[in-house]
Protein backbone atom coordinates (compact mmCIF):
# COMPACT_ATOMS: atom_id res chain seq x y z
CA UNK A 1 0.00 0.00 0.00
CA UNK A 2 1.39 3.36 -1.02
CA UNK A 3 1.09 6.22 1.45
CA UNK A 4 0.08 9.65 0.23
CA UNK A 5 2.48 12.55 0.49
CA UNK A 6 2.15 14.52 3.69
CA UNK A 7 2.18 18.28 3.59
CA UNK A 8 5.35 19.65 5.10
CA UNK A 9 6.47 23.01 6.43
CA UNK A 10 10.06 24.17 6.25
CA UNK A 11 11.59 25.81 9.30
CA UNK A 12 15.04 27.34 9.24
CA UNK A 13 17.33 26.89 12.21
CA UNK A 14 20.44 29.00 12.64
CA UNK A 15 23.33 27.35 14.48
CA UNK A 16 26.74 28.55 15.44
CA UNK A 17 29.63 26.68 13.86
CA UNK A 18 30.19 24.89 17.17
CA UNK A 19 26.53 23.87 17.48
CA UNK A 20 26.53 22.67 13.88
CA UNK A 21 29.67 20.62 14.47
CA UNK A 22 28.12 18.94 17.51
CA UNK A 23 24.96 18.17 15.56
CA UNK A 24 26.94 16.87 12.57
CA UNK A 25 29.00 14.53 14.76
CA UNK A 26 25.95 13.23 16.61
CA UNK A 27 24.08 12.56 13.38
CA UNK A 28 27.09 10.76 11.93
CA UNK A 29 27.26 8.51 14.99
CA UNK A 30 23.51 7.83 14.87
CA UNK A 31 23.62 7.40 11.10
CA UNK A 32 20.78 9.86 10.58
CA UNK A 33 20.36 13.08 8.67
CA UNK A 34 20.47 16.40 10.49
CA UNK A 35 17.01 17.20 9.16
CA UNK A 36 15.59 13.88 10.38
CA UNK A 37 17.23 14.24 13.77
CA UNK A 38 16.01 17.81 14.28
CA UNK A 39 12.52 16.89 13.06
CA UNK A 40 12.24 14.07 15.59
CA UNK A 41 13.79 16.17 18.34
CA UNK A 42 11.42 19.08 17.77
CA UNK A 43 8.32 16.89 17.53
CA UNK A 44 9.18 14.84 20.64
CA UNK A 45 10.09 17.90 22.69
CA UNK A 46 6.91 19.72 21.64
CA UNK A 47 4.79 16.71 22.68
CA UNK A 48 6.56 16.55 26.06
CA UNK A 49 5.98 20.24 26.66
CA UNK A 50 2.32 19.99 25.63
CA UNK A 51 1.94 17.16 28.13
CA UNK A 52 3.68 19.11 30.91
CA UNK A 53 1.48 22.10 30.15
CA UNK A 54 -1.67 19.95 30.32
CA UNK A 55 -0.63 18.32 33.60
CA UNK A 56 0.21 21.67 35.17
CA UNK A 57 -3.08 23.25 34.10
CA UNK A 58 -5.05 20.22 35.33
CA UNK A 59 -3.29 20.02 38.71
CA UNK A 60 -3.87 23.74 39.23
CA UNK A 61 -7.57 23.20 38.39
CA UNK A 62 -7.36 25.69 35.53
CA UNK A 63 -8.93 23.37 32.95
CA UNK A 64 -10.67 20.02 32.62
CA UNK A 65 -9.16 17.01 30.91
CA UNK A 66 -11.44 17.42 27.90
CA UNK A 67 -10.54 21.12 27.56
CA UNK A 68 -6.84 20.28 27.75
CA UNK A 69 -7.20 17.49 25.20
CA UNK A 70 -8.84 19.93 22.83
CA UNK A 71 -6.21 22.65 23.46
CA UNK A 72 -3.14 20.41 23.21
CA UNK A 73 -4.28 17.78 20.73
CA UNK A 74 -3.36 15.04 23.21
CA UNK A 75 -5.83 12.34 24.15
CA UNK A 76 -7.42 12.28 27.61
CA UNK A 77 -5.90 8.90 28.68
CA UNK A 78 -2.38 10.18 27.91
CA UNK A 79 -2.96 13.27 30.06
CA UNK A 80 -4.52 11.17 32.85
CA UNK A 81 -1.57 8.76 32.87
CA UNK A 82 0.91 11.62 33.22
CA UNK A 83 -1.15 13.27 35.98
CA UNK A 84 -1.13 9.96 37.89
CA UNK A 85 2.63 9.59 37.37
CA UNK A 86 3.29 13.10 38.67
CA UNK A 87 1.05 12.50 41.69
CA UNK A 88 2.97 9.29 42.54
CA UNK A 89 6.30 11.11 42.24
CA UNK A 90 5.04 13.93 44.48
CA UNK A 91 3.88 11.40 47.08
CA UNK A 92 7.28 9.66 47.07
CA UNK A 93 9.07 12.98 47.46
CA UNK A 94 6.90 13.91 50.45
CA UNK A 95 7.45 10.49 52.03
CA UNK A 96 11.21 10.81 51.55
CA UNK A 97 11.22 14.29 53.06
CA UNK A 98 9.21 13.18 56.09
CA UNK A 99 11.47 10.18 56.59
CA UNK A 100 14.55 12.41 56.62
CA UNK A 101 12.89 14.89 58.98
CA UNK A 102 11.86 12.05 61.32
CA UNK A 103 15.45 10.80 61.45
CA UNK A 104 16.76 14.29 62.20
CA UNK A 105 14.06 14.77 64.80
CA UNK A 106 15.09 11.57 66.59
CA UNK A 107 18.81 12.31 66.34
CA UNK A 108 18.32 15.75 67.84
CA UNK A 109 15.70 14.58 70.33
CA UNK A 110 13.31 17.22 68.97
CA UNK A 111 9.81 15.80 68.25
CA UNK A 112 8.50 19.29 67.50
CA UNK A 113 10.71 19.42 64.40
CA UNK A 114 8.89 16.45 62.87
CA UNK A 115 5.46 17.79 63.89
CA UNK A 116 6.29 21.13 62.28
CA UNK A 117 7.28 19.42 59.03
CA UNK A 118 4.00 17.45 58.96
CA UNK A 119 2.02 20.67 59.48
CA UNK A 120 3.99 22.42 56.75
CA UNK A 121 3.13 19.71 54.23
CA UNK A 122 -0.58 19.91 54.98
Q: Domain residue spans in the chain?
A: 47-121
Distances (CA, A) of 3 to 6, 11: 9, 24
Q: What is the pLDDT of residues 79-105, one digit of tens each?
A: 999 998 887 877 777 788 888 888 888
Report pTM: 0.66
**C-alpha distance from residue 84 to each of 55, 61, 62, 78 (Å):** 9, 15, 17, 10
**pLDDT tens across 2-60, in order?**
566 788 899 999 999 999 999 999 999 999 999 999 999 999 999 999 999 999 999 89
Amino acid sequence: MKKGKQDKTTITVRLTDEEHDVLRRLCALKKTSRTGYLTNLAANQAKKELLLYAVGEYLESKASLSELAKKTGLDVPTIMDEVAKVAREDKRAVEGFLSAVKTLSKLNNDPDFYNLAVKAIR
